[in-house]
């Protein structure tokens, strides 16, 4: 039985990066991720019991399309020149999932957690990410849920009007996570017309402001609700 269990750290350091370039944010994620993994390796090698940190990044990206490691490039419907014309960038990245879009009006969350501080179950982790969003949307009177075999949060599941409001894709190694979720709050949905979102044909994408029939939703308020539900689900504390 490992004594490491005595040093479970359930405090999560919260940072709001504001509007930040995708590549710069990805590199920052990698830096935090590597520091946790390196500490875990050192703990094991030197038989230490140093607590590992956890991070949660909020960010909004300029227009960008990202393709997961198992994704199909044909799901991007724009040429390089067309991307430039739309002021968008494109990256192949090391998360799961297919293609998605990030841009202004979207709340992106990147939990970089050592799951050994919480539970060692990736399936449960993904379900908890979804649940935090489902509970947040419920506070706005929006009923959402899961679509079988399709990670993320959906509205109108089981109807001809199914539409995705939150995409998810994560990477995990040695029980350390990175990447996360992208919730459309005040998003320009026109940018989704340039891809087959998550490689799923025939299903629409929506945004919270559209569903509520308002011009703009208070994004700071949405973030507060996400953090509240994340804390409850993970039995965690947040520090900034």
Is 182 annotated in some ligand binding site?
Answer: yes
Is 65 annotated in some ligand binding site?
Answer: no
Q: Treating both helix axes as pointing N-terminal to C-terminal, what angle do 219-234 and 122-138 enclose, rounded to 10 degrees? A: 140
Is 158 annotated in some ligand binding site?
Answer: no
Please enumerate in sequence order all residues whose Cβ is within 8 A of that of 184, keeping only pairs 6 or more positions apart, or say none. Answer: 105, 106, 165, 166, 205, 206, 207, 208
CATH superfamily of 9-239: Bira Bifunctional Protein; Domain 2 (3.30.930.10)
Active site residues: 198
Is 109 annotated in some ligand binding site?
Answer: no
Q: Is the model's pLDDT at 2 over the cut of 50?
A: no
- pTM to 2 decimal places: 0.93
pLDDT tens digits, one per residue of 198-235: 555 557 899 999 999 999 999 999 999 999 999 999 99
Q: Is the model's pLDDT at 3 over the cut of 70?
A: no
pLDDT tens digits, one per residue of 129-155: 999 999 999 999 999 999 888 889 999
Measure Cα distances from 186 to 13, 93, 108, 135 in Å. 26, 25, 12, 18
């Amino acid at each position: 039985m490992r004594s490491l269990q005595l040093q479970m750290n359930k405090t999560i350091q919260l940072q709001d990066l504001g509007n930040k370039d995708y590549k710069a944010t990805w590199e920052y994620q990698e830096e935090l991720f590597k520091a946790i993994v390196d500490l875990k390796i050192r703990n094991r090698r030197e038989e230490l019991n140093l607590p590992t940190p956890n991070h949660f990044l909020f960010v909004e990206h300029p227009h960008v399309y990202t393709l997961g490691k198992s994704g199909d490039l044909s799901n991007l419907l724009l040429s390089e020149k067309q991307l430039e014309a739309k002021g968008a960038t494109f990256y192949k990245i090391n998360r799961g999932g297919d293609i998605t879009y990030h841009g202004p009006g979207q709340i992106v969350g990147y939990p970089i957690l050592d799951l050994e501080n919480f539970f060692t179950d990736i399936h449960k982790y993904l379900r908890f990410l979804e649940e935090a969003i489902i509970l947040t949307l419920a506070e706005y009177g929006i009923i959402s849920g899961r679509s079988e075999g399709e990670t993320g949060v959906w509205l109108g599941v089981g109807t001809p009007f199914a539409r995705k409001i939150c995409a998810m894709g994560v990477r995990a190694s040695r029980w350390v996570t990175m990447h996360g979720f992208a919730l459309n709050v005040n998003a320009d949905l026109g940018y989704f017309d340039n891809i087959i979102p998550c490689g799923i044909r025939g299903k629409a994408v929506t945004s919270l402001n559209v569903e509520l029939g308002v011009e703009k939703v208070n994004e700071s308020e949405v973030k507060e609700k996400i953090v509240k539900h994340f804390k409850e689900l993970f039995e965690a504390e947040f520090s900034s």
